[in-house]
Structure 1
Amino acid sequence: MDSNRRQLAEHFVELHKEGCFLLPNAWDVGSAKVLEAAGFSALATTSAGVAFSLGRPDHDFFADAEAAGVGAGRVDRGTMLGRVGEIARGVSVPVSADLEDGYGEAPEVVAETVAAALATGVAGGNVEDFTGERDRPLYGHDLAVERIRAAREAVDGHGEPFVLVGRTDVLLVGGSLDECVRRANAYLAAGADCAFVPGAADAATIGTLVRELDGPLNVVMGLTGNALGMAELRELGVRRVTVGGSIARAMYRRLVLAARELAESGTFSYAEDQMSQGELNSLFEK
């Protein structure tokens, strides 16, 4: 890691020590540059947004995808890390990578994924416990902990600043808040620097997590137009906030509406509020 990337990574580590900050999720260099220009001090990637930009489905239950005829559609590790690296090199703020489940069940595979992510120049990354299997939606508790421990060892072996985030999808698969707390704390104890709990979107749930967790908490907002804003999340004690694939989905909705207008009406009103060529050129030339 060059000195500039190290400084960015060190800054990213410091952001997790106090306060509350927002890092929105980019899916390509263009979206990352737009977000950087808006003034954000750090960015994250979204595996969903990357998948959509490649015309592929997002990581979901594998059997459901196979039944829909898209079983081979998941973006592979090499492709995902290639895009992550492009984003990290394309901006001058630290980037945290969405590493899904580490692209393999075995702890050693997770370690390889984290090491490969570090080599792209990112300053952090999250590893989740979602399996993609309906009969076993989460990796077993002990295995999930070992996976985080292996990721931590990979980070420590690399010797560079890096924020490892342990993500538990307990709430997304219908599990209890108690189990969520148990897993998140186990991941923190195994070496995660921050816990990520998607599905926690109301003040009561988030407040409980902040009180019960032994480390900083990441929540994801914007998935359903959540009522809570940054002021409320800061007051609750949340350390960092991401928005997942919500910006990408909002962009694709605009694309779908434009396509429908062209195909069904043959009109062009979608273009009335477009950015000008000059505006975009100016933004991307910076």
Structure 2
Amino acid sequence: MTSQTEKAKTFQALHESGCFIIPNPWDMGSARVLEGMGFAALATTSAGFANSMGADDYEVTRSMVMNHSRALCEATSIPISADLENGFGDSPEDCAETIRQAAASGLVGGSIEDFAGRGKGQYSISAAKDRVAAAVEAANALPFPFMLTARAENFFSGTPDLADTIKRLQAYQDAGAHVLYAPALRTLADIHSVLASIDRPLNVLMGPFDGFGPVEAMAEIGVRRVSLGSALANAANGGLIRAAEELQSTGTFNFLKDAVGGKRLMAIMNGRNAASD
């Protein structure tokens, strides 16, 4: 069994050795599939998990997220980082406590965002920096290297101001964040600008939103980590909805051509990526 310290050191090393994909499972089964497919690390998705519980993003509680994270960590043997939303509270101490609970759940990384919640916008740069600093202090006090990611949510919060995004990321860098992340940057030029302004590993969400490119293109310009957010969960739910629509409209079963049989699924989950059912 891989210890949490071993997972943490592996995760830290991934950020030092080039660009890697960190896909986002939404339950234990999808986590085991992604591990079985050979990915080196995973990250939770707040939206994907919430949807799997029949809820919308930002409707789950900290305890729900910690129980979910613990289940994923226990189901796999590779490093897992978590989407910890805004730290589940406005104060710096809320963020610090969330990191301590994240570590206790088995996680070796987690992100704190500067979005205060729907209808509330972003925290001021000063307040957001204090929150990141508290999270970093809690992370650095752990007996293993917990990778704290600080997120600038401008392009998700309705204020797509690149200059402000960069100021925020620089502030979070000054606060000690180990990884920086500004989801939904629009263009490759935006990503270039961010990379030129920071000296920490940068996570991007599937590349520039105005035209997703291959991960190789992200690696070439210096991106260290590429995550998928809720994309895999959305794709799985899309397959379910299309199958249901076909059943309702034509009563046919053409959707089965894209199905995966139980034999192959279990082979993948057990680390044997069988080519057929």
User: Which of 197, 204, 221 lines up with 2:189 in the alignment?
Assistant: 204
CA distance in 2 between counterparts of 1:234 and 1:142 reads 32
Q: Between the two proteins, what is the percent identity of the paired residues? A: 38
Maintained 8 Å contact 1:201/1:221 = no
**For residue 13 of structure 1, what is the aligned residue in structure 2?**
12
- CA deviations 1:202-237 (Å, max 9, x no partner) are 210111111111311110017969432111101111
CA drift at 1:284: 3.0
Say if 2:122 is the partner of 1:122: no
Q: Which amino acid aligns with 1:183?
A: R
Counterpart CA distance in 1 for 2:209 and 2:238 is 14
1:146 and 1:14 mapped to 2: Cα distance?
27
Matched, 1:155 2:154: no
Partner in structure 2 of residue 41 of structure 1: 40
State the alpha-carbon separation in 2 of the partners of residues 180 and 102 from structure 1.
19
**Range with greater deviation from structure 2 (261-270 or 37-46):** 261-270
Q: Residue 62 of structure 2 aligns with which residue?
A: 77
Contact (CA 8 Å) 1:222, 1:243: kept in 2 or not?
no
Counterpart of 1:279?
264
Q: How far apart, CA to CA, are the structure 2 residues paired with 1:262 and 1:225?
A: 34
Structure 2: distance between partners of 1:45 and 1:170: 21
The one of 81, 90, 107 equivalent to 2:75 is: 90
Question: Which residue of the partner structure matches residue 30 of structure 1?
Answer: 29
Within the alignment, does 1:101 sit opposite 2:86 as a pair?
Answer: yes
Q: Find the aligned partners of 2:36 and 2:118 in 1 and give their Cα distance.
A: 39
Deviation at 1:281, TM superposition (A): 2.5
TM-score by length of 1: 0.90
Question: Is the Cα contact below 8 Å between 2:207 and 2:218 reproduced in 1?
Answer: no
Contact 1:26 1:45 in 2 (8 A): yes
Does the CA contact (< 8 Å) of 1:201 and 1:219 recur in 2? no
Does structure 1 residue 141 correspond to structure 2 residue 140? Answer: no
Which whole-Å CA distance do the structure 2 matches of 1:97 and 1:284 have between them? 21
The runs of 4+ residues in structure 1 deviating greater than 4 Å are: 222-225
Q: Per-residue deviation at 1:191?
A: 1.5
1:164 maps to 2:163: no
Supply the RMSD in Å over aligned alpha carbons: 1.7
> Retained in 1: the 8 A contact 2:188–2:207?
no
Counterpart in the other structure of 1:243: 228
Q: 1:32 to 1:226 in 2, by over 3 A?
A: farther
Separation (CA, whole Å) in 2 of partners of 1:32 and 1:162: 20
Query: Is the deviation greater in 275-284 or in 144-153?
Result: 275-284
CA distance in 2, matches of 1:139, 1:189: 17
Q: Read off the aligned partner of 2:122 and give its amino acid letter.
A: L
Q: Gaps (5+ residues) in structure 1?
A: 60-73
